[in-house]
Structure 1
């Protein structure tokens, strides 16, 4: 699961919880308004009402809303922690890639400098020379008698 997917999941859950809290607050407000209206009617009717049940309902709804808010805060803290970790990992990965790339470039530069120095001194073999040496050593392996005579002649030239 990527950090973006995790972020989307957390945001969706947060939105769902926020919507539920809003609905609970609206429901609470509606219940409270309905209770007030009902109490006003009962007061006009001179009937005494025990509103302890309503108070318990309101208190319960408030506790539910507080728990939902705490849940959202906890989720948000976890999300922030995950975001910091993901950011740190991405920055570290980027730094490692840059270091690796710089190392490769440096190695290539060193090889090129060394190759140039060898070419200037005449010590570097080109592809054409390598093919010639391969053919030469194959000939030496196939013709041991002739190659010994060739080596003697070369040693005399030195």
Structure 2
């Protein structure tokens, strides 16, 4: 395979023409790609891209409803708590008032009874146990002897 320099030159020239054509073709392709990219870029600039945010809006609306329900629940709970608190305070005040009324009211009443009993006892208006037994027997005798008892009462009235 001996080649002459002319043949070699011819071969190099042919190869260089092929390479040159391929480079021209590549340049054409790159120009087409560049033009295509520019067209797509222009088209993207003109296109109005809309984002579907309906899911986000629904979530926000749901969160707002939950927040409103929470606020209402807290207000209801607070009203209930206030009612219970007022009831407890009223009950405590009522119980304290009843306690003091019973403690001092009944104590005073029992003291009054004791003082009255002591005064009646000093005046001799309360019968002793011995006198009570005597009076019981006396009234039984009066019931059994009505005729004698009338005379006895007349005598007693004269003594007064």
Q: Is the TM-score greater than 0.5?
A: yes
| CA displacement, residues 53-95 of structure 1 (integer Å, 9 cap, x when unaligned) | 1232133123213312321222212221232123213312330
- CA drift of 1:113 comes to 0.8
Q: State the TM-score, normalized to the length of structure 2.
A: 0.57
Structure 2 runs not aligned, ≥5 long: 1-48
Secondary structure of residue in 2 paired with 1:124: coil
Q: State the TM-score, normalized to the length of structure 1.
A: 0.57
Q: Determine which structure has more spread, i.e. the larger CA radius of gyration.
A: 2
1:1-150 pair list within 5 angstroms: 49-150=51-152
Following the alignment from structure 1 to structure 2, what is the Cα–Cα distance between the partners of residues 53 and 79? 38
Secondary structure of residue in 2 paired with 1:50: coil
| CA displacement, residues 113-134 of structure 1 (integer Å, 9 cap, x when unaligned) | 1111122222222344333322
Considering Cα pairs closer than 8 Å and 6+ residues apart, tell me whether 1 or 2 has the greater RCO: 1
Structure 1 pair 62–155 and aligned structure 2 pair: CA distance change class (3 A) = closer
Give the RMSD, CA atoms, in angstroms: 2.6
Q: How many residues were matched structurally?
A: 112
